[in-house]
């Protein structure tokens, strides 16, 4: 039983256990949820830590523990050749739907291990911050666990169908959570908008995946290859160099996947659902969604769409489009964030802007940009969770997040104020936090191919983000305290402070030691992304 | 002639008649037990058919020992057997639902159960039909029994009105069907479906055959509620009593598709080209019509009616695959495989939803009836959520796999000719649009009707669900979840059921 | 000094203040005394370490051991990025370490006295330590990206310190303005770094110097542009001409902060950067730099003449002296710039501390026209202020004389008009400094608070005396050869030019003092507005740059954000989303009307459907 | 006079079918619509018999038997329904029964 199966199974099983419990034991329910999110966190920390030394291929907790102590990468004889070639660790493969060729296949490499760690950490923090839910806690915690288990499964699954299925687990819980426990008067509209946008994106991705699988079966009619397994897809792409991707509806596979994943991640023209959803969602849902579930689209883009790049579209038209849209979401959402009157609205648009950075990193089509993109993904996950958690705490105290009506909170609530100050500074790319390391790597990666776009990206990264973040700090934290206000309660007890301390600690740790992620990232072999291959395909301007 | 071949249909008719006879002897109180008896008999038949299939074809009286699965216009193969099990399951669920629903039916319960069994007989005969006569007889048996069933609540104007509408439009459709059969018979000279495979001697024969085929498709189109002929669905679904609507939505639609599958299997290549374009147009229009109309719908039964139309559109997508390649082909088999899986999921989801509806007191089934259901009865709320989410096609439930397989087979067919791209776009768009009204139901359950989560649900009283219905609902919910996550058993079973088409 | 100590000592010097800051933050409710002790201890430790390093390694430099901070792309390929974290300690940075830690220690001690009755002393000292850590990071940075990282951290810590009294709206706005304008400068700096990296493939300072030594034409046509972009960073941080508006507003912070940040260290970082990357600049880049420096010096001097706030006068005087240093670098004399930077650090810190003790004595009164007659009441502060003024003016024995005249000598040999500007600035500096001395310390006290002013406690005037001694004695540095390391293509001006420069400098000082004596001796109100009319008013209004920038911002940034917000709300969310969903809902309700309930119409629709089917497919 | 061939029968059956269809469309009364339906069915029967005679095998006539029995069943059930409707609404007019709509 690979630790990865444990990571997504524990929350789902606990959700079933909670279903059986009577609704009035709220304390017990909350503690069980904390346990059900803490175990996967510890397991993913172990997996992340021992990633280098763990043997490629099949691995369990025992082998992980042995690998951690021995520090020398042992060879694992039971590993499948594909897993060794692409350096996937802790893999586990069992039959699931053999007649459709779909199997349960989990495995982790640098990219997914980092995202998994961030996902489980944010899930644990969200479980801690779910304390501000007072009505119908049992249903809320069940839905939260469903979300947490689903997204962890999505990050570890190597079978595209399984990855899609796990991600979709989060769709209905989001709708119900925003509808029942949401904030603000247009939460109905927000609930519908989020669900329809996400399902539209997901259905496009599904169509793309079906097309891809059908293309695989067409090129390998004899073998029982199903076309849904990621590793077989990589092998097939590297062997046939994607010759068949030209005729019939197949040229539409790349745009469908790109667009579908783009919608899931609030790419520029399809981003209006994100700020609205995060503003009206309860704290824990906003943390999970803005922090983790949004990253699935990007993860999918890197895992599935990027390897298609040199074959499916020689003119890079779609990648230039992605670059343009990424730049648009970076600048546009940044400028719109400046005009937001509500704190969570501003945070929502700033998270859309940060996604712009990841799109730029991916569209730069080189390993440096990609490493930067991953760093920004992880950093933004932690940052979004932290800022929405703190915004939730503020909303619980002041009943409103209208920035004009808040003020001087740094004096009223020293701990939460300082944490929010650090979060907002991290948001505008202050070094020492992980966001800066990611953004600077993306800029370095992007400069080689698109110097002009990089200048605009720098302007957005340094100036626009500084303007709206500092404006928020000025209105919410600094300035005189508003006349009419009751005593605000700061986060004093330890279990109130734990989520914020954890997230801040992770942000600072990755900010000071970004090597922890980039080191593992480089080791993860992208089939077509070797720099030689890319540069040959994508000549630098000079 | 192997009498045992028809043993299932004979058993159904005999039990129907038996119920009617017993009705004379049973006192007023005992009428409900007849329902349980009928359900018990049908479950016996189902178990026998599943576990002892050789009874049907084993000891044939006259033949020389080897099993004969063929009769005149009747064929009992794995494909037919699968559909018979589906219909038996549907009938059992409807009978048990009707027993709980007896309060509103009040009089003549025995006739209700008998008619359900007769309709069941018609459906199981339709599953095995291989010539036009059996097709016509089984279709008419289903339709006529549904004429009576839809107008069963004599006291209420709605039921009568639904009955009359279904009667007139159904009769018109069957007249069109008969005329179509006549023309096809005229062109091919034989009533067998297989005759459609041979080439026509002359041009006007071929022209006659095309017209006849179109009329037959139109007649069957009425049954499965495809686009031009779905006008009756909302009114009849709303007017008819809930168990009948459920049976109508599942049973007669599945029978129609079983017949269409067998029919299309035997077509000549150039006829397949014709039916491919016809069915593609029908499918696209049906999905669009069903999804768009349901957006503004407040009445639950009408909402399920429109949703049923949309799912008929998706099933037609599966049928396309059958017609894409000439003769038996893997993609054709994949299409039917997807349709049969989707039908199973659709059956359980609709039955669960309507069982929940039966237990909801509320004269007009407006969405507000569901308000606060999560507090009044968590079981009903959870099962209804599961069935709605399965119908919407979201993982990890059975409905998702059904839609996934259908989309997969449609993509297989459509990728060679990019002109059909619009159909894929409509299908994908339909799924997204359908989420709006399916989630409207979820909203009504969890926070609809202005019941804010804070308000204690005590005001509207909790609903008590009788133990048998409770068991049934839990069973349906679990099946939806279990088969959704571990569908391998059902997929293998379907694998050999589709051997006919491969 | 043993090898291992040479490796750990720089880390100790760098991390001591950070450790203090983190300890204060984590401790939460820490008493003011212990937080001050921690912070002062940290900076003193760094000072001792720097002295040790300077003594051991002057001339030899410290071996570099960079640690890999971030590594993206496979290491060997050309496009990969390797960012490391290492120290480049040569004479320039060692001397700068001494100046920064020395001045910082004195100011930390002074702040303990100055901020005694403030409510948030732990937060203040944490900010101060964080600032010192970032400043040391800049000085010791081994590559451009590391330098950029600490460049931003210095900006953020100055934001925290300026906004120390964040309840006051003016302080909070000033902090925000300072950080944003700093980041405008940093934008240019970052783009410069990216350009240099993409061409040379490395950001390490040492590696860059070698590559350029081997092939001077390596940067090719974009060499000037890259140089000027990196100069933008200096313009932002050292508040040069276009981006100078934030420094005067930064006076909202506590006075020790102004002293440390806006006199001695942070603003000097820009000049230090120019010296550090001097080898990058092409001749015409240097030409632009010299004129920007000269322009800033002249502009700031003019504005300072008409400011009534004591700290604002000193702020503009800092601007002007910084302009001087940038001009020196522009003229190809980085060592002259560093010399002036050092002397300026001492006497400007001294002036700010003296101003601080005056302000504290008059209970936070900063308007010089409400002071007066403090000569007798605060003798020590008066004498310190006077020494600082004379050093700034350039009286021969004091430090300022030597450093300023070396710059004037270079100006004389290279760029005659700039020499004239320099002399004029020297004259104006003497004028506005003596104006302040006469108005604040001379004549009768114009306000009751000034009447009762008492001398500041010892903890405040002891650091002032030390600084006074330093600024007086810093002239001796002229004797030491190449104290700041050797710079390429730097030639010493001929004897005649430096003599001639000394003569003009002293003349300017005397003339300025005389003019100030004539205008401001015993003056009750500022006479200049009457005599110079419009010119005085524009100088008082700081040449309307603030209003210009506000207008510029409103018509660029704000306009863009209004347009995108409008388009977002109406086009994308409105027309796009609501339009699409509205269309679907409308189509739904339209199609539903088909169900009219009438049996006949149903039959009609079915028949029409059948006919359509037959027509289409037959 | 040319002898009566297959096309003639087909024309008559098509005519019967179309008149039945028009009857269903134009009449408002349920009974008249019902008569139209029977007419359509008999049109189809005529075609079946004609083709059976033309093809020489009896399948067509076999089918006619089934159609007639089904039509009979339909009539029985239909009329009973219309009578029940009349007792309820005192009118057999199609335009009255429109309570189920939209």
Q: In this model, does residue A540 exceed pLDDT 50? A: no
Average pLDDT, chain A: 86
Q: Residue D66: what pLDDT? A: 93
Q: Residue A484: what pLDDT? A: 66
Share of chain C above pLDDT 90, in %: 34
Q: pTM to 2 decimals?
A: 0.91
D-chain CB neighbours of C592 within 8 Å are 102
Interface check for B303 against chain D (CB to CB < 8 A): the answer is no
Q: In this model, does residue C327 exceed pLDDT 90? A: yes
Q: Which structure tokens are listed for A471?
A: 């404006």
Tell the residue number behind the tokens 């996550």, with chain if given.
B485
Q: Are A354 and A370 in contact (CB under 8 A)?
A: no
Name which of C180, C564, C565 is nearest A466 (Cβ-Cβ). C180
Q: Residue B454: what pLDDT? A: 45
The string of pLDDT tens digits covering residues B38-69 is 999 999 999 998 887 776 665 444 444 455 67
Average pLDDT estimate for A231-260:
80
Average pLDDT, chain B: 86
Per the CB < 8 Å rule, is B294 touching C588?
A: yes
Interface check for C194 against chain A (CB to CB < 8 A): the answer is yes
Q: Residue A316: what pLDDT? A: 81
Average pLDDT estimate for B7-19:
92
- List, as ranges, residues 36-55 from D with C-beta within 8 Å of B: 37, 40-41, 43-45, 47-48, 50-52, 54-55
The string of pLDDT tens digits covering residues B191-218 is 888 888 888 888 888 888 999 999 999 9
Q: Strand A102-108 relative to strand B70-71: parallel, antiparallel, unpaired?
A: unpaired
Q: Which residue of C has its CA nearest to B239?
A: C597
B-chain CB neighbours of D97 within 8 Å are 157, 160-161, 164-165
Q: In this model, does residue A538 exceed pLDDT 60? A: no
Dist. CA A374–CA A265, nearest whole Å:
14
Q: In this model, does residue A533 exceed pLDDT 50? A: no
Per the CB < 8 Å rule, is A371 touching C73?
A: yes
D-chain CB neighbours of B161 within 8 Å are 85, 97, 99-100
Per the CB < 8 Å rule, is D63 touching B181?
A: yes
Interface check for C458 against chain A (CB to CB < 8 A): the answer is no
Q: Residue B451: what pLDDT? A: 42
Share of chain B above pLDDT 90, in %: 50
Q: Which residue of A has its CA nearest to B428?
A: A203
Dist. CA C54–CA C52, nearest whole Å:
5
Dist. CA B41–CA A100, nearest whole Å:
36
A-chain CB neighbours of B481 within 8 Å are none
Interface check for D17 against chain B (CB to CB < 8 A): the answer is yes
Q: Which residue of C has its CA nearest to D101?
A: C597
Average pLDDT estimate for C509-524:
86
Q: In this model, does residue A523 exceed pLDDT 80? A: no
Dist. CA B256–CA D6, nearest whole Å:
32
Per the CB < 8 Å rule, is C596 touching D99?
A: no
Q: In this model, does residue B80 exceed pLDDT 80? A: yes
Phi, psi of D21 (to 5 degrees): -60, -45
Q: Residue C5: what pLDDT? A: 81
Q: Number of Cβ pairs closer than 8 Å across C and D?
A: 31
What is the nearest CA distance from D1 to chain B, expressed in angstroms? 25
Per the CB < 8 Å rule, is B214 touching C617?
A: yes
D-chain CB neighbours of B182 within 8 Å are 13, 44-45, 47-48, 51, 60, 63
Q: Residue B68: what pLDDT? A: 62
Q: Residue B456: what pLDDT? A: 46
Instruction: List, in order, residues 6 or more apart from C143 with CB less than 8 Å away.
Output: C66, C83, C84, C86, C88, C202, C203, C204, C205
Per the CB < 8 Å rule, is C610 touching B228?
A: yes
Task: Give the SS3 label for residue C84.
Answer: strand
* Cis amide linkage into residue B396, ω under 30° from 0: yes
C-chain CB neighbours of B289 within 8 Å are 591
Count of Cβ atoms closer than 10 Å to residue A328 Cβ? 18
Dist. CA A271–CA A349, nearest whole Å:
9
C-chain CB neighbours of B215 within 8 Å are 610
Q: Strand C67-72 relative to strand B74-75: parallel, antiparallel, unpaired?
A: unpaired
Q: Strand C81-85 relative to strand C67-72: parallel, antiparallel, unpaired?
A: antiparallel
Task: Tell me how far CA of residue B260 lies from CA of B90, B325, B414, in angstroms.
Answer: 20, 16, 20
Q: Which residue of C has its CA nearest to A364?
A: C79
Q: Which is nearest to A259 in space by CA: A191, A207, A190, A192?
A: A207
Q: Residue B171: what pLDDT? A: 94
Please report, for chain A, how many H helices and E strands are present, in that order. 26, 2
Interface check for B154 against chain D (CB to CB < 8 A): the answer is yes
Q: Residue B192 has what DSSP assignment?
A: B
pLDDT grade for B122, boundaries at 50, 70 and 90: very high
Q: Which is nearest to C48 in space by CA: C1, C105, C116?
A: C105
Phi, psi of C454 (to 5 degrees): -125, 160
Average pLDDT estimate for B107-131:
91
pLDDT grade for C159, boundaries at 50, 70 and 90: very high
Interface check for B157 against chain D (CB to CB < 8 A): the answer is yes
More confident residue, C480 or C36: C36
- List, as ranges, residues 433-452 from B with C-beta within 8 Å of A: 435-436, 439, 442-443, 446-447
What is the nearest CA distance from C582 to chain B, expressed in angstroms? 11
ipTM above 0.85, yes or no: yes
Name which of D17, D52, D73 is nearest B144 (Cβ-Cβ). D73
Average pLDDT estimate for C579-585:
88
Dist. CA C194–CA A456, nearest whole Å:
13
pLDDT grade for B375, boundaries at 50, 70 and 90: confident
Q: Which residue of C has its CA nearest to B167?
A: C599
Average pLDDT estimate for C52-56:
87
Q: In this model, does residue B312 exceed pLDDT 80? A: yes
For helices A434-449 and A367-398, give the axis angle rounded to 10 degrees: 140
Q: In this model, does residue C14 exceed pLDDT 90? A: yes
Which of 2.60.40.680, 2.40.128.130, 1.10.287.3510, 3.40.50.2300 would CATH assign to domain D6-91?
A: 1.10.287.3510
pLDDT grade for B363, boundaries at 50, 70 and 90: low
Angle at B427 between CA B423 and CA B433, to 5 degrees: 135
The string of pLDDT tens digits covering residues C266-275 is 888 999 999 9
C-chain CB neighbours of A444 within 8 Å are 72, 81, 194, 197
Dist. CA A237–CA B87, nearest whole Å:
46
> Reduced to 3 DSSP states, what percent helix, strand and coil does chain A have, rounded to the nearest 5?
75, 5, 20
More confident residue, C6 or A108: A108
Q: In this model, does residue C203 exceed pLDDT 50? A: yes
Name which of B169, B289, B294 is nearest C603 (Cβ-Cβ). B169
Interface check for C600 against chain D (CB to CB < 8 A): the answer is yes
Q: Residue A486: what pLDDT? A: 67
Among A237-246, B27-36, C400-409, the least confident range: A237-246
pLDDT grade for C454, boundaries at 50, 70 and 90: confident
Q: Residue B395 has what DSSP assignment?
A: T
Per the CB < 8 Å rule, is D101 touching C597?
A: yes
Instruction: List, in order, residues 6 or more apart from B315 with CB less than 8 Å away.
Output: B224, B253, B257, B339, B342, B343, B406
Is there an interface between D and A (3+ Cβ pairs < 8 A)?
no
Among A50-59, A464-473, C559-568, the least confident range: A50-59
Q: Residue A335: what pLDDT? A: 93
The burial class, CB within 10 Å (0-12 / 13-18 / 19+), for A271 is buried
A-chain CB neighbours of B372 within 8 Å are none
More confident residue, A275 or A527: A275
The string of pLDDT tens digits covering residues A310-368 is 666 667 888 899 999 999 999 999 999 999 999 999 999 999 999 999 999 998 888 88
DSSP, residue by residue, A291-346? IIIHHHHHHHIIIIIHHHHHHH-TT-HHHHHHHHHHHHHHHHHHHHHHT--BHHHH
Name which of C78, C190, C560 is nearest A458 (Cβ-Cβ). C190
Q: In this model, does residue C389 exceed pLDDT 60? A: yes
Average pLDDT estimate for B241-252:
93
Q: Residue B449: what pLDDT? A: 62
Average pLDDT estimate for B17-29:
87
What is the nearest CA distance from C531 to chain A, expressed in angstroms? 41
pLDDT grade for D70, boundaries at 50, 70 and 90: very high
């Amino acid at each position: 039983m690979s630790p990865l199966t444990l990571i997504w199974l524990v929350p789902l099983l606990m959700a079933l256990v909670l279903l059986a419990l009577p609704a009035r034991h709220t304390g017990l329910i909350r503690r069980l949820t904390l346990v059900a999110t803490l175990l996967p966190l510890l397991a993913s920390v172990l997996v992340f830590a021992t990633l280098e030394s763990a043997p490629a291929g099949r691995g369990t907790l025992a082998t992980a523990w042995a690998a951690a102590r021995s520090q020398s990468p042992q060879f694992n004889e039971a590993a499948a050749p594909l897993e060794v070639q692409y350096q996937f660790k802790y893999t586990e493969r069992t039959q699931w739907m053999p007649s459709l060729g779909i199997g349960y296949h989990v495995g982790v490499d640098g990219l997914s291990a980092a995202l998994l760690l961030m996902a489980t950490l944010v899930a644990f923090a969200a479980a801690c911050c779910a304390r501000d839910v007072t009505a119908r806690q049992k249903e809320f915690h069940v839905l939260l666990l469903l979300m947490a288990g689903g997204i962890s499964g999505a990050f570890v699954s190597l079978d595209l169908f399984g990855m899609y299925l796990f991600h979709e687990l989060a769709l209905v819980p989001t709708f119900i959570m925003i509808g029942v426990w949401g904030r603000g008067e247009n939460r109905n509209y927000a609930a519908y908008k989020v669900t329809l946008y996400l399902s539209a994106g997901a259905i496009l991705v599904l169509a793309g995946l079906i097309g891809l699988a059908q293309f695989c079966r067409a090129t390998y009619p004899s073998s029982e290859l199903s076309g849904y397994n990621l590793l077989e897809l990589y092998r097939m792409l590297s062997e046939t160099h994607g010759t068949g991707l030209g005729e019939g509806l197949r040229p539409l596979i790349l745009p469908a996947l790109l667009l579908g994943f783009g919608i899931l991640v609030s790419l520029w023209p399809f981003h209006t659902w994100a700020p609205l959803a995060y503003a009206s969602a309860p704290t824990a849902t906003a943390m999970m969604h803005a922090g983790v579930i949004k990253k699935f689209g990007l993860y999918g883009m890197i895992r599935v769409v990027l390897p298609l790049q040199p074959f499916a579209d020689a003119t890079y038209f779609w990648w230039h489009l992605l670059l343009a849209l990424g730049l648009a979401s970076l600048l546009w959402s940044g400028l719109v964030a400046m005009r937001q009157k509500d704190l969570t609205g501003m945070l929502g648009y700033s998270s859309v802007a940060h996604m712009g950075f990841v799109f730029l990193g991916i569209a730069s089509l080189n390993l440096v940009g990609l490493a930067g993109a991953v760093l920004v993904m992880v950093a933004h996950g932690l940052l979004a969770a932290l800022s929405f958690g703190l915004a939730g705490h503020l909303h619980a105290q002041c009943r409103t997040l209208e920035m004009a009506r808040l003020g001087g909170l740094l004096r009223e609530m020293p701990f939460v104020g300082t944490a929010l100050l650090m979060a907002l500074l991290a948001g505008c790319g202050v070094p020492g936090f992980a966001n800066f390391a990611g953004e600077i790597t993306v800029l370095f990666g992007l400069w080689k191919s698109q110097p002009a776009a990089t200048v605009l990206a720098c302007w957005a990264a340094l100036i626009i983000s500084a303007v709206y973040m500092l404006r928020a700090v000025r209105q919410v934290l600094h300035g005189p305290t508003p006349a009419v206000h009751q005593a605000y309660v700061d986060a004093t007890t330890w279990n109130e402070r734990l989520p914020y301390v954890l997230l801040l600690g992770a942000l600072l740790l990755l900010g000071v030691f970004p090597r922890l992620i980039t080191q593992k990232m480089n080791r993860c072999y992208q089939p077509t992304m070797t720099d030689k291959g890319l540069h040959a395909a994508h000549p630098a301007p000079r | 002639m192997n009498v045992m071949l028809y043993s299932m249909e004979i058993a159904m008719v005999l039990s129907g008649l038996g119920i009617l006879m017993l009705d004379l002897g049973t006192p007023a109180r005992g009428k409900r037990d007849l329902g349980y008896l009928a359900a018990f008999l049908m479950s016996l038949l189902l178990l026998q058919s599943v576990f002892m299939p050789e009874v049907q074809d084993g000891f044939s009286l006259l033949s020389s020992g080897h099993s004969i699965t063929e009769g005149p216009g009747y064929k009992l193969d794995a494909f037919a057997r699968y559909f018979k099990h589906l219909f038996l399951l549907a009938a059992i669920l409807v009978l048990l639902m009707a027993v709980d629903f007896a309060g509103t039916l009040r009089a003549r319960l025995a006739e209700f159960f008998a008619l359900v069994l007769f309709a069941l007989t018609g459906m199981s005969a339709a599953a095995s039909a291989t010539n036009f006569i059996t097709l016509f007889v089984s279709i008419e048996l289903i339709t006529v029994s549904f004429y009576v069933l839809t107008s069963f609540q004599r006291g209420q104007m709605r039921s009568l009105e639904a009955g009359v509408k279904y009667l007139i439009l159904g009769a018109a459709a069957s007249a069109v069907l008969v005329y179509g059969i006549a023309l096809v018979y005229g062109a091919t000279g034989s009533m067998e479906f297989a005759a459609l495979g041979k080439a026509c001697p002359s041009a006007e024969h071929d022209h006659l055959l095309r017209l006849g085929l179109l009329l037959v498709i139109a007649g069957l189109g009425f049954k499965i509620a495809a686009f031009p002929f779905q006008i009756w669905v909302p009114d009849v679904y709303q007017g008819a009593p809930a168990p009948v609507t459920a049976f109508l939505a599942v049973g007669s639609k599945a029978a129609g598709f079983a017949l269409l599958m067998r029919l299309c299997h035997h077509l000549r290549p150039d006829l397949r080209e014709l039916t491919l374009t016809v069915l593609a147009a029908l499918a696209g229009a049906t999905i669009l019509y069903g999804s768009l109309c349901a957006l503004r719908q407040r009445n639950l039964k009408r909402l399920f009616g429109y949703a049923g139309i949309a799912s008929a559109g998706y099933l037609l997508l599966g049928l396309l695959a059958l017609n894409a390649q000439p003769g038996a082909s893997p993609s054709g088999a994949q299409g039917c495989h997807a349709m049969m899986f989707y039908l199973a999921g659709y059956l359980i989801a609709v039955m669960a939803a309507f069982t929940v509806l039966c237990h909801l007191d509320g004269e007009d089934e407006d969405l507000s009836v569901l308000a606060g259901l999560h507090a009044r009865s968590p079981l009903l709320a959870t099962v209804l959520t599961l069935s709605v989410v399965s119908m919407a096609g979201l993982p990890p439930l059975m409905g998702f796999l059904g839609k996934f397989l259908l989309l997969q087979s449609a993509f297989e067919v459509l990728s060679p000719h990019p002109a059909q791209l619009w159909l894929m776009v409509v299908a994908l768009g339909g799924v997204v649009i359908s989420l709006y009204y399916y989630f409207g139901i979820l909203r009504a359950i969890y926070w609809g009707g202005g019941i804010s989560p804070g308000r204690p649900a005590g005001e509207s009283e909790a609903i008590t669900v009788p133990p048998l219905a409770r068991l049934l609902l839990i069973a349906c919910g679990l099946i939806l979840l279990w088969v959704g996550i571990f569908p391998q058993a059902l997929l293998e079973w379907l694998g050999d059921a589709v051997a006919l088409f491969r | 000094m043993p090898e291992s100590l040479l490796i750990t000592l720089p880390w100790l010097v760098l991390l001591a203040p950070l450790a203090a800051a983190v300890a204060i933050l984590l401790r939460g409710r820490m008493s003011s005394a212990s937080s001050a002790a921690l912070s002062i201890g940290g900076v003193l430790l760094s000072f001792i370490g720097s002295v040790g390093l300077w003594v051991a390694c002057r001339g030899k430099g410290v071996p570099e051991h960079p640690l890999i901070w971030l590594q993206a792309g496979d290491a060997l390929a050309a496009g990969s990025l390797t960012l490391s974290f290492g120290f480049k300690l040569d004479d320039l940075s060692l001397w700068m370490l001494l100046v920064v830690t020395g001045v910082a220690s004195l100011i930390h001690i002074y702040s303990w006295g100055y901020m005694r009755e403030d409510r948030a002393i732990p937060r203040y000292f944490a900010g101060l330590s964080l600032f010192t850590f970032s400043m040391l990071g800049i000085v010791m940075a081994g590559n451009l990206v590391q330098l950029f990282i600490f460049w931003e951290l210095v900006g953020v810590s100055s934001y925290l310190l300026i906004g120390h009294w964040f309840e006051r709206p003016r302080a909070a706005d000033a902090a925000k303005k300072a950080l944003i304008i700093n980041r405008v400068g940093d934008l240019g700096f970052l783009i410069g770094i990216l350009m240099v990296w993409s061409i040379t493939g490395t950001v390490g300072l040492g590696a860059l110097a070698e590559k350029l030594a081997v092939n001077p034409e390596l940067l090719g046509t974009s060499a000037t542009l890259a140089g000027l972009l990196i100069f933008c960073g200096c313009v932002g941080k050292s508040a040069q001409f276009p981006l100078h508006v934030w420094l005067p507003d930064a006076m909202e912070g506590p006075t020790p902060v102004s002293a440390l940040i806006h006199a001695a260290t942070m603003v000097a970082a820009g000049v230090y950067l120019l010296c550090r990357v001097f080898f990058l600049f092409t001749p015409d880049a240097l030409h632009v730099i010299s004129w920007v420096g000269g322009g800033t010096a002249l502009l700031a001097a003019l504005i300072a003449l008409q400011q009534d706030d004591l700290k604002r006068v000193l702020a503009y005087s800092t601007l002007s002296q910084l302009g001087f240093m940038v001009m020196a670098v522009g003229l190809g004399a980085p060592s002259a710039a560093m010399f002036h930077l050092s002397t300026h650090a001492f006497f400007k810190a001294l002036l700010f501390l003296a101003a601080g003790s005056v302000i504290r004595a008059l209970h936070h009164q900063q308007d010089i026209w409400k002071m007066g007659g403090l000569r007798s009441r605060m003798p020590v502060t008066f004498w310190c202020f006077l020494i600082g003024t004379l050093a700034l003016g350039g009286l021969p024995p004091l430090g300022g004389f030597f450093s300023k005249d070396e710059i004037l000598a270079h100006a004389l040999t290279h760029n005659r008009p700039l020499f004239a500007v320099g002399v004029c600035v020297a004259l104006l500096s003497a004028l506005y400094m003596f104006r302040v001395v006469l108005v604040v310390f001379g004549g009768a006290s114009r306000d009751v608070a000034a009447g009762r002013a008492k001398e500041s406690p010892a903890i405040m005037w002891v650091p002032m005396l030390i600084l006074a001694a330093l600024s007086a004695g810093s002239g001796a540095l002229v004797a030491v050869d190449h104290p700041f390391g050797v710079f390429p293509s730097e030639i010493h001006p001929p004897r005649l030019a430096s003599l001639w420069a000394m003569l003009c400098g002293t003349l300017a000082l005397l003339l300025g003092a005389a003019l100030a004596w004539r205008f401001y001796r015993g003056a009750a109100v500022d006479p200049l507005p009457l005599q110079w009319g419009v010119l005085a008013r524009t100088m008082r209004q700081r040449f309307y740059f603030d209003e210009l920038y506000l207008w510029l911002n409103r018509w660029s940034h704000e306009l863009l954000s209004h347009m995108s917000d409008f388009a977002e709300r109406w086009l994308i969310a409105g027309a796009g989303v609501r339009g699409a969903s509205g269309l679907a809902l409308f189509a739904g309700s339209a199609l539903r009307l088909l169900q009219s309930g009438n049996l006949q119409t149903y039959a009609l629709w079915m028949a029409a459907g059948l006919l359509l089917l037959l027509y289409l497919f037959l | 006079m040319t002898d009566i061939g297959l096309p003639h029968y087909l024309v008559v059956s098509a005519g019967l079918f179309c008149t039945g269809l028009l009857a269903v469309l134009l009449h408002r009364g349920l009974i008249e619509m019902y008569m139209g339906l029977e007419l359509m069915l008999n049109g189809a029967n005529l075609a079946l018999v004609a083709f059976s005679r033309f093809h020489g095998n009896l399948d067509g006539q076999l089918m006619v038997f089934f159609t007639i029995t089904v039509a009979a069943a339909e009539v029985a059930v239909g009329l009973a329904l219309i009578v029940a409707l009349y007792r309820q609404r005192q009118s057999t007019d199609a335009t009255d029964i429109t309570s189920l709509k939209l």
